[in-house]
Amino acid sequence: MTDADDDSSAGVSASATLGPLRISGAFIDRTKQIPTASFLTIFGAPRAQTEDRRGYVDASYTGPFTGAWTGVARAGIDFNSYAGAYAYSEADASVLQIDGADSVQMSGELTLNRRARQHMFTLGGDVRGSLHNHQFASDDYGDLLDESHPSSVLGLYAQDEITIQPWLLLNAGVRLGYDSGFGANVAPRAGLVFLPRPGSSLKLLHGRAFRAPNSYERYYYSTMEDYGFTLKPETIMTTELVWESTMGSHLRTAMSAFHYDVDQLIEQRTIAASEATDGGLYFVNAGRTTANGADAELEAFWASGIAASVGYAYVHAKDPSTGGSLSNSPRHMTNARFLAPLGSVGSTLALEARGVSERLSIDGGTVPGFVTGNVTVTRAMTTRLDLGVSVHNIFNTGYADPGAEEHVQRAIPQDGRTFRVRARVRF
């Protein structure tokens, strides 16, 4: 099958700044053809595609507030829309299923800061309200899904950074949250920062975070209701040791070691087909998952505009059900970047390389690792117009990503050498 992987997108964005006020907005539309026969659809069906749209308007104020307080106030509205068309074969006839979701969300946030002697206080709150949150699906025979679940999330947070000594800081804070679907939650965090010399820091960080399952995870699959499956929020405890240092005027280094402990991790699974059921996808809290790792990065930069960086990360994440490694979780990842100006102001050459080690697929096999490279040349035609040409996967490397539960393939091949042209106009 050829010409079954089309991808087209368009977008527009704008922003305006007047003193401490900033207003921004954007609209993005992307249509993607589906070549993988996911969800048991017809392989290579030309009508199988998805369309994503997002638009938002955001306004913010940054500056002084009452008394000695300064901070940021922000408010915005966000629109998201998704529509998918999936072609199925029933009794040798093509059945087209349409599904999608659309939501309208309003949000606001206020953060205040004030220094008092050795303390730097931060107080704030945020609110997110889904005014409209609708999921739907239908096929040639009628409606399959019609779920509307508006929701709201509230949060209050406070933090104090205490200067114990000029070379030692203690940072402690807590966020109190409320989710309309799951109630209250508490997310504390703390950090001890050691400053051995100017430009260098050693940080010991610890914290807890919370994520409630979204509407797709809770309501999309009928299997969830048919079998009485329910979901709990995920929580994560993180501990990190971070070293950052600037050496001279050209080099910056960063290294960290970390341990993540995730409880009630939400995972997608499949009910095996049998005489009593044709199988089905669903989500479940898989239990406790841990990850240990380390990463390092070296950056170099010069006044001429030349910049380069190289980074490496090692991560070992354990599957809660088997004790082995998680699928689609590489142990080793590397990246390198180089940026240099080209003659006229605003014209640049950018080189990038990325490497990923082998990964487990959901069938217990492995997908080989790979290294790819990209080249991008950007030229400033005028003060308002930039043109860019990119070559992605310049060496035409053949590689694949592990498939998920909804895919027939254990590994999905990715694009070879790809050319892209971009024009950016500033008003």
Position 320 scores a pLDDT of 67
CB atoms within 10 A of CB 177: 19
What confidence category does residue 277 fall into, taking pLDDT thresholds of 50, 70 and 90? Answer: very low
Q: What is the mean pLDDT of residues 175-179?
A: 96
Q: Which residue has the higher pLDDT, 110 or 278?
A: 110
What is the rounded average pLDDT of the residues 302-311?
A: 93
Q: Grade residue 44 by pLDDT with cuts at 50, 70 and 90.
A: confident
Q: Which pTM was predicted?
A: 0.84
> Where do the structural domains in the chain lie, given as residue ranges?
1-114+123-143, 151-289, 327-427
pLDDT bucket at 279, cuts 50 / 70 / 90: low
The pLDDT score that the predictor gives to residue 52 is 95
End-to-end CA distance of the chain: 43
Least confident of 50-54, 348-352, 410-414: 410-414
Asked whether 141 and 178 are in contact (CB, 8 A), the reply is: no
C-alpha 45/C-alpha 359 separation (Å) is 29
Residues 40/44/45/46 CA torsion (nearest 10 deg): 150
For residue 272, what are its two tokens? 């095996």
The Cα–Cα gap between 114 and 65 comes to 10
pLDDT at 27 over 80: yes
pLDDT at site 276 = 40
pLDDT band at 94 (very low <50, low <70, confident <90, very high): low
